[in-house]
Amino acid sequence: MGNEFNALIRPNLWKQLKVGTRVVSHRFVMGDWKPDETKTIKGEDGEEYQIHLWTITDDVKKKAEKK
C-alpha cells in the first residue's frame, strides 16, 4: 500500500480502533507517527524484512479528536 496510503488511513485508525489495539505494517511507516518498535525478521525465503509496530493509546485518541 505504501507510506502515502498509510498516512491517509492513519486518522481512521486513530478514531476507530480501541485503546490497546496493535497496528502492524510490513515495510511502510505512518508519516510522523513513530512506531513503538521496528523489527527485522527473516522470511522463509532467507530475505530480511522490516515490520513496524504501533499501539493505539489514549494520547493517540486525543490527537484524533483534535483533527
DSSP 8-state symbol, 18: P
What is the domain range of residue 14?
3-66
Q: Which phi-psi region, left, alpha or beta, contains residue 52 (left: φ > 0; alpha: ψ -120 to 50)?
A: beta
Distance separating alpha carbons of residues 27 and 47, to the nearest angstrom: 13
Band of pLDDT at residue 67, cut at 50, 70 and 90: low
pLDDT in tens, 23-66: 999 989 998 999 999 999 999 999 999 999 999 999 988 888 87
The total number of structural domains in the chain stands at 1
- pTM for this one? 0.83
What is the enclosing helix (H) or strand (E) of 7? Answer: helix 3-16
- CATH number at 17 reads 3.40.50.150
Take residue 40 and report the three cell numbers written for it: 527485522
pLDDT in tens, 1-31: 788 898 899 999 999 999 999 999 998 999 8
